[in-house]
Amino acid sequence: MTLFSKKKFISFSSIFVVLLLSPISAEQLLTKSDFLKKSKECFKGLQNKVCNSLFVEMEKIQLFESEQDRYRCQASILGLQTELIEAYYFKKHNNQNGIMIPYVIKNC
């Protein structure tokens, strides 16, 4: 085996290992209805467990939408995520129920 073929083998095998062990590709993402339902729950009660897991899930969905070149959907999810974080961390709970939810429904 020549030096070039060894390098080629190592590079292809490393790419295969990275793709195989990638947690985003192996993990099931929430459906749109699931994360919208959880968003509404989070706005209503600001529950720690639901909101924290939802922030992580929404980040994964944003990355997926970006990879698919669906930037309107990604931006809508980012807006909803921003509203949730603002309501959760800054306790702005003045009857805010998700201004961005209709945009997520429309664009995703």
- Residue 75 confidence (pLDDT): 93
- Condensed to tens digits (0 to 9), the pLDDT of residues 53-94 reads 888 888 889 888 989 999 999 999 999 988 888 887 776 555
Contact 100, 106 (CB under 8 A): no
Alpha-carbon distance 26 to 45, whole Å? Answer: 31
pTM above the 0.85 mark? Answer: no
Higher per-residue pLDDT: 98 or 20: 98
Alpha-carbon distance 67 to 100, whole Å? Answer: 21
In this structure, what token pair is assigned to residue 40? 């509404």
35, burial (CB in 10 Å: exposed 0-12, middle 13-18, buried 19+): buried
Residue 36 has pLDDT above 80, yes or no: yes
Place of tokens 């706005």: 43
Contact 84, 39 (CB under 8 A): yes
